[in-house]
Amino acid sequence: MATVQELIRTEADGSISFGDYTLNTKEKVEDFESNGDLYKVKTYHEMTKLERNGMFVYESEPGTAVEHLALDDTSVEFTVSGNQDAQITVQMEEDAEYDVFVDDYGVGSMKTNRGGKLSFSVELSEGIPAQVRILRR
């Protein structure tokens, strides 16, 4: 997967997919409704950002494409693609500890800051997506 052509879409399983790291200029979609929530996505080659109901959910630098983002109270799962390594930040519960896995490899246990943000890096190459799973300890 290189990009999400619609910039954001709801998948058959209820998850969402978003982002296009191939764009030269920033594009956005606001007020995208999915499962009772309103999403906003901004994306281009330098960054991809997702908000749900006006609150931060996901950001990557440089831009990425995300498929099947599924969130619940204790975990986040998604597949991410890009043409170079990316720094990813996701919103989780504040002052909580999480195990982070990339392609089923445990990259470590991480604690969120007071704002609940969790940041980690993912090695990406064009045409090779990475599966990310974050589980609360």
Query: In this structure, how many other beta carbons lie within 10 angstroms of the beta carbon of residue 79?
Result: 17
Rounded average pLDDT over 100-116: 94
Sheet of 47-52: strands edge to edge?
A: 27-34, 37-44, 47-52, 55-61, 86-91, 117-122
The pLDDT tens digits of the residues spanning 71-93 come to 988 999 999 999 999 999 999 99
Average pLDDT, integer, range 12-39: 96
Longest dimension (CA), the chain: 39
Class of the domain covering 3-136: mainly beta
pTM value?
0.94
Domain boundaries, the chain: 3-136
Asked if the model's pLDDT at residue 1 lies above 70, the reply is no
DSSP-derived 3-state class of residue 12: coil
Q: What is the torsion angle, in degrees rounded to the nearest 10, for the CA atoms of residue 128, residue 13, residue 66 and residue 43?
A: 150
On the question of pLDDT at 65 being above 60, the answer is yes
Residue type, 64: T
How far, rounded to the nearest angstrom, does the alpha carbon of residue 131 sit from its chain's CA centroid?
A: 11
pLDDT of residue 113: 84
Element (H, E) at 111: strand 105-111
List of residues 6+ apart from 21 with CB closer than 8 A: 2, 3, 43, 44, 45, 48, 62, 63, 64, 65, 81, 82, 83
